[in-house]
Amino acid sequence: MQAIKRKKQKETIIEGFFLICAFVAVISVLAITVFVFFNGLKPFISNSYSLWDFLTGVEWRPGSNMFGIFYMIVGSIFATLGAILIGVPVAIFTAVYISELAGSRIGKMIRFAVELLAGIPSVLYGVFGLGIIVPYVLKISPMAQGESLLATILVLAIMILPTVVSISETSISAVPKEYREGSYALGASKIQTIFKVVLPAARSGIMTGVILGIGRAIGETMAVMLVCGNPIAGIPTSLFDQIRPLTTNIALEMGYASGVHQELLYSTGVVLFIFIMIINLAVNKLVKAKVGS
């Protein structure tokens, strides 16, 4: 009797331990959210800066008390869209090649390379971008510098590859072999089978990869900071224009900012936060809607 009771106690304790571990993540996300929102909303609540000016302004001059982030929002969106537009197709075709077309040795090699890519610290992507991509962009650019939206897009496109490739590959490999057999038995070619049966069947997994890719692209800071130019004003109108994404705005100035300036950097974080939430929800909805139909 005693033994059973003790055993039960032990189980309860261990269960409790697991629960605490699980709560670390929940508490962290709550803490970050509350902290960022609390600080970020302060200037608008205390009326020390106008929310409208903050969201629609196209100049960030802390010295002249001008804190507009609209051009940063546009820059972040363009950079992310561009990276997705280039990176996602490349990643999906890579995943298809690895799982459907390549022989097992070449497939393994490519997979290994992609995994290595995932492990490279982001600052090194930035250095690579600055050393290789920026000079090339400069060669074709009408501007005086190579740091640009285009350079940012290219760096981000490479950075999202590992995430999108590995998740897409997993979901492509998880497509039942019966689907492929059924397709071949109906006289479909390999390419037809891939595009009409395998990829649609792997759709929701691939979309998950894309969401994570978007998250990575919009949230990336270090690599982007080195290649984007970080101008103090101006909505980008061409691929060769410099941009100042929301993330780098925070990273560049948080170290020395104080007062309203500092609070508005937190506000930038709030905007970033909301963006990521909107993207996640929207794409989640999209996936569900498509699967439903």
Partner 1 sequence: MDTNIKFNTKNLDLFYGDFQALKSINMEIREKEVTAFIGPSGCGKSTFLRCLNRMNDLIDSVKIKGEIIFDGKDINGPIDVINLRTRVGMVFQKPNPFPMSIYENIAYGPKCQGMKDKNQLDNLVKESLMKAALWDEVKDRLNKSALGLSGGQQQRLCIARTIAMNPEVILMDEPTSALDPIATAKIEDLMSSLKKDYTIIIVTHSMQQAGRISDKTAFFLMGEVIEFNDTPIIFTNPHDKRTEDYITGRFG
Least separation, in Å, of the C-beta of 100 and partner 1?
11
Are the C-beta atoms of 172 and 221 separated by less than 8 Å? no
Neighbours of 38 (CB within 10 A): 13
What is the residue whose two structure tokens read 């997993």? 170
Are the C-beta atoms of 165 and 94 separated by less than 8 Å? yes
Q: Closer to partner 1 at the Cβ: 55 or 188?
A: 188
Are the C-beta atoms of 101 and 92 separated by less than 8 Å? no
Residues at the contact surface with partner 1, assessed by CB under 8 A: 176, 178-189, 192, 196-197, 200-201
In angstroms, the CA 129 to CA 9 distance is 57
- Among 250, 271, 270, 274, CA closest to 262: 250
- Among 80, 126, 71, CA closest to 276: 80
Q: Closer to partner 1 at the Cβ: 99 or 141?
A: 99
Are the C-beta atoms of 281 and 79 separated by less than 8 Å? no
Give me the phi and psi of 233, to 5 degrees please: -165, 160
Least separation, in Å, of the C-beta of 102 and partner 1?
13
Least separation, in Å, of the C-beta of 190 and partner 1?
10
Q: Closer to partner 1 at the Cβ: 93 or 179?
A: 179
Residues 6+ apart with CB under 8 A from 228: 75, 79, 147, 148, 149, 151, 152, 242, 243, 244, 245, 248
Q: Closer to partner 1 at the Cβ: 103 or 255?
A: 103
Q: Closer to partner 1 at the Cβ: 188 or 260?
A: 188
Q: Closer to partner 1 at the Cβ: 27 or 186?
A: 186
